[in-house]
Chains A and B, each alone.
Chain A
């Protein structure tokens, strides 16, 4: 078995069956990372020694006759927003450089308990704020399909690493599209589950009511296998949902048998005139393929979609300004040198430590929350959020899942949107509404542009409807082979 040809599920099956050693898989991935990541910039930190120790431990458990976990020997990359005990966690920000968490996030603890091997920490937009990973304080990440293009963001390091075969799966977080948009731009699968389905404990907070941790995989089943491990109630996250975890892998496999009886909603608002023609054509063709698989496609309406970006940026900046108040140079991370007073320590630390985008959002958030403006901005946005969520609830009375493009554009070039923050915000126009509603959505590859850049199909489900998302995605994947393509430069 060689990487990057094998899927995570195949690796785990082989390791569990004793046909493949975890150490061997880990070495193959570490070799690829050493050879290819210099040009791609996916990893902020490679923990080669830790990965080898962990792999050896899995192999020792196998030798001792113990039953291995469902992700035995699967090498994973972890977005650098997840706290990893003893392993530096920076959120790609100078203000957290050198921070070594004294505790482990629930997600990474569960993945490790399932037998996976953490290879290292992956690059991202600073504090998950951005759609291109250009906001990383440390380095850019390049799209494996074209190094002149961005990988999307904010989980750009995760998506690019999976696409390039520099890990067999990865974690991400999605506050307004930060898993699905980079998955689409890098030609892989990414899933944002229902809010509360995956614990946020130990995930650095950006906008707490919108932050959704989730998995990336090369295939739908890999992504489902990762989510089965990551999901579940957690006493350390008061917002986690006490419902049983679904059979996501089974749902992905069921999709291969067709979609008879499944009603798919197609919202006119997500196929707007300004959309890239190649993307629209690819997504319409994908929906026709789902109809051939047996699904009934029905028109649905999400009339408040045009307010989603404004609503999202009011809420996420308000929450960010509050969450990021904790970075003050007192307890951890950067402390500005030579501050003469406590106030100077705060202002200089934050001035030196935060990049432009977090500063922009902290100021916007403080502005929309200030006395006299609170109701006009933040209060209004919370009411608009309800209307957007109600749109989905009404649509799901007519269909089982909603299918749309993931991103209105394919990967853009470095610098193209950096000069205009509003243009960058609009990159998330098709992904933010499921965050506001807290409902699950998956992105998977459904074609390529003439320039060879991937195109993503998004399937949105009702609350706790992860299984229907995986079923639809599994159906599409079994009838196409976009997911089998590998970026030419890293194959």
Chain B
């Protein structure tokens, strides 16, 4: 993997010789102004459908290992509620 990445970076270094002074960066393939829709609430995905693919869920939340230590000073645990 390391040598692959090295070879690819060497290849892309060829771009250095290209004179791009004064050229505007092209961030979009076509001229693009971000369109705004009307600020109105529209239907969104029901919670159960949004959570249907969750590897673990609890109530209406995605469940992950504990991020902050518990009140007893315990560390992170997957089994915490």
Contact = CB atoms under 8 A, between A and B. Distances in A.
A422 B20 contact: no
Contacts of B15: 307, 310-311, 314, 380-381, 384
B75 to A, nearest CB: 8
A210 interface: yes
Interface string B22-59: 01111111101011010000000100011011111000
B8 A313 contact: yes
26 contacts: A99-B53, A102-B45, A102-B53, A209-B27, A209-B29, A210-B29, A239-B28, A241-B30, A307-B18, A330-B62, A330-B64, A332-B54, A340-B77, A345-B64, A364-B8, A379-B25, A382-B26, A383-B23, A384-B15, A384-B18, A386-B24, A386-B25, A420-B4, A422-B4, A425-B8, A438-B28
Nearest to B23: A383
A359 B16 CA distance: 25
For the complex of A and B, 3 pairs with smallest distance between CB atoms: A438-B29, A335-B55, A332-B53
Contacts of A363: 5
B65 A345 contact: yes
A195 interface: yes
B53 A333 contact: yes
A340 B20 contact: no
A463 B30 contact: yes
Contacts of A344: 65
Nearest to B22: A383
Contacts of B20: 380, 383-384, 387
Nearest to A211: B29
Contact of A340 (B16, B54, B78): B78
B62 A385 contact: no
Given A102-B50, A342-B65, A345-B64, A382 B27 contact: yes
A329 B26 CA distance: 33
Nearest to B13: A310
Contact of A421 (B8, B24, B52): B8
A239 B25 contact: no
A374 to B, nearest CB: 11
B70 to A, nearest CB: 13
A437 interface: yes
Given A102-B50, A383-B24, A422-B8, A196 B18 contact: no
Contacts of A296: none
Nearest to B1: A360
A131 to B, nearest CB: 15
B26 A385 contact: yes
Given A313-B12, A345-B64, A360-B1, A339 B78 contact: yes
Nearest to A102: B49
Contacts of A345: 64-65
Nearest to B54: A331
A100 B53 CA distance: 7
Contacts of B65: 339-342, 344-345
Nearest to B4: A421
Interface string A387-400: 10100000000000
B29 A238 contact: no
A332 B4 CA distance: 31
Nearest to A357: B4
A329 B62 CA distance: 10
Contacts of A420: 4, 7
Contact of B29 (A195, A379, A422): A195
- Most chain B Cβ neighbours within 10 Å, of A195, A380, A435: A380
Interface in A416-449: 420-422, 425, 435-438
B37 A387 contact: no
A194 interface: yes
B47 to A, nearest CB: 11
Given A100-B52, A340-B78, A438-B30, 19 more contacts: A103-B45, A304-B18, A307-B18, A313-B12, A314-B15, A329-B55, A330-B54, A330-B64, A344-B65, A345-B65, A360-B4, A360-B8, A364-B9, A367-B9, A384-B15, A386-B24, A386-B25, A386-B26, A420-B4
Contacts of A310: 11-15
B43 to A, nearest CB: 12
A71 to B, nearest CB: 27
B78 A338 contact: yes
Given A209-B28, A342-B64, A386 B8 contact: no
A239 B53 contact: no
Given A195-B30, A342-B67, A386-B26, A377 B12 contact: yes
A210 to B, nearest CB: 7
Contacts of B1: 356, 359-360
A235 interface: yes
Nearest to A346: B64
A386 B78 CA distance: 49
Contacts of B26: 382-383, 385-386, 389, 436
A306 B29 CA distance: 19
A100 B49 CA distance: 10
Contacts of B62: 330-331
